[in-house]
Chain A
Amino acid sequence: MKTLYLAQIGLQFFAVDKECVAGVGRRNDDAVKPVAENGKQYLPLPHGNRAVICDVQALMSGTGGASPARRGGYYLIVAHEDQFMALTMSTKGRIVMADVAAAHPLPPAFTGQSRALIPGVVVNCTDLILLVDLKAVLAAADGTAGPGCGEHGGQTSTSVH
């Protein structure tokens, strides 16, 4: 069994390793404004860090990175190596325990990027929980999350808690 953070994005469930979760923040919080740079959206974090914003629903529909105009919801801020990423969530999410060893792999029809993004699917009754590979999501979020992500970006405000 493993402790995961379960995020609801649209009508779907995604899970990331709880160890990678740096915090949760409210979207469209007036105190923290996303910053646009080189066509990417970044969320300022404490200590001058920033997270590249990844709109997972946009990623699902193939329209690319962040869509800051969409209101409401939360950011799930995850850390991978020295980078931060803010995944958009519909609800605040919660911590769950799951037997990831029993996860189903995707059917062989799914190859390449989809298989890299989703290494497994946990079945919970009739719900499917997609296990997310953060490294692959970081790469997919902007083509290259790039050196700007996770470095000191000079932003100080935050709502991460």
Chain B
Amino acid sequence: MANQRQQAGIRAFLLPLTINGSVDNVVCLFSQNQVVEILGPRPVQRIPGSPAYLKGVLLYHDDLLPVIDLDDLCNRQPAGRQERYRQLVVVRTGATDPVTGEPLKAVVTASVQVRIAKLSGQELTRGFTEREAPAALRDTGLLRGSFQRGDDAVVVLDLGPVVRGAADCPGGASR
């Protein structure tokens, strides 16, 4: 079964990032198992006193989910641009609530449309080559992997520390 799935390929969701000082096209990869739903733009409830990368909360199926801007999370100097998002991506983070033990989801903002790539088993093994991560991401403690795929620098991020409130992130200055 797993072999069949590998031959058929998996879908990956590629979210373009704007990383300060990086000349590469950096994209953040989410697997199809991570992505719960991609939502259209809708109002996000801002929370005073939160870090710049936390854009607020969104009510999703009776749960309040944190809304995270990955550009601000990864960059030391948040861009401070207008907060208009084209899409909101609901993702499973793999982390659990330290109090309730519930799995924690998050909403990731996308200022451009998320790309969907169908990756075959062959491409997964040969199409991705490991590479040095963009400098801005190296010391964040959030990086799970960094790869080159064609013209894209593909990064895989661990949002667990962010949603658990344990992140020590570059873009963490309070608003």
Residues on A lying within 8 angstroms of B by beta carbon are: 11-12, 56, 59-62, 104, 106-114, 116-118, 121, 123, 126, 128, 130, 140
B163 CB contact (under 8 Å) in A61, A109, A118: A109
Bound-complex Cα distance A112 to B173 (A): 12
Distance in Å: Cβ of B28 to nearest Cβ of chain A: 17
Main secondary structure of the interface of B (DSSP, over half): loop
> Is the interface on chain B under 10, 10 to 19, 20 to 34, or 35 or more residues?
20 to 34
Task: Give the distance to chain A from B76, nearest Cβ to Cβ, in Å.
Answer: 16
Contact with A along B94-118 (1 / 0, CB 8 A): 0001110000101000000000000
Cα A11 to Cα B104 with chains together (Å) = 27
Q: Is the beta-carbon distance between B47 and A110 smaller than 8 angstroms?
A: yes
Complex Cα gap A83–B42 (Å):
38
Which residue of the partner chain A has the closest CB to B106? A109
With beta carbons under 8 angstroms apart, the residue of A11, A111, A128, A140 that contacts B48 is A140
B49 — which chain A residues lie within 8 A by C-beta? 59, 112-114, 116-118, 140
The A interface is mostly helix, strand or loop, or mixed, namely: mixed
Instruction: Please name the residue on chain A nearest to B159 by beta carbon.
Output: A109
Chain B residues in the interface with A (C-beta under 8 A):
43, 45-50, 52, 54, 57, 59, 62, 64-66, 68, 97-99, 104, 106, 162-165, 167, 173-175
CA gap between A156 and B43 in the complex, in Å: 42
Contacts of B66 in A (CB 8 A): 107, 109-110
B98 pairs with A108, CB closer than 8 A: yes
Residues of B contacting A128 in the complex (Cβ-Cβ under 8 angstroms): 45, 57, 59, 64
Residues of chain B within 8 A (CB-CB) of A59 are: 48-49
The residue in A12, A109, A113, A123 that gathers the most chain B C-beta atoms within 10 A of its C-beta is: A109
**Cα distance A61–B174 when bound, in Å?**
9
- A109 pairs with B48, CB closer than 8 A: no
Known A12-B46, A59-B48, A60-B47; further 18 A-B contacts with Cβ < 8 A: A59-B49, A60-B48, A104-B64, A106-B57, A106-B64, A107-B57, A107-B65, A108-B99, A108-B164, A108-B165, A109-B68, A110-B47, A113-B174, A114-B174, A116-B49, A118-B47, A121-B57, A121-B64
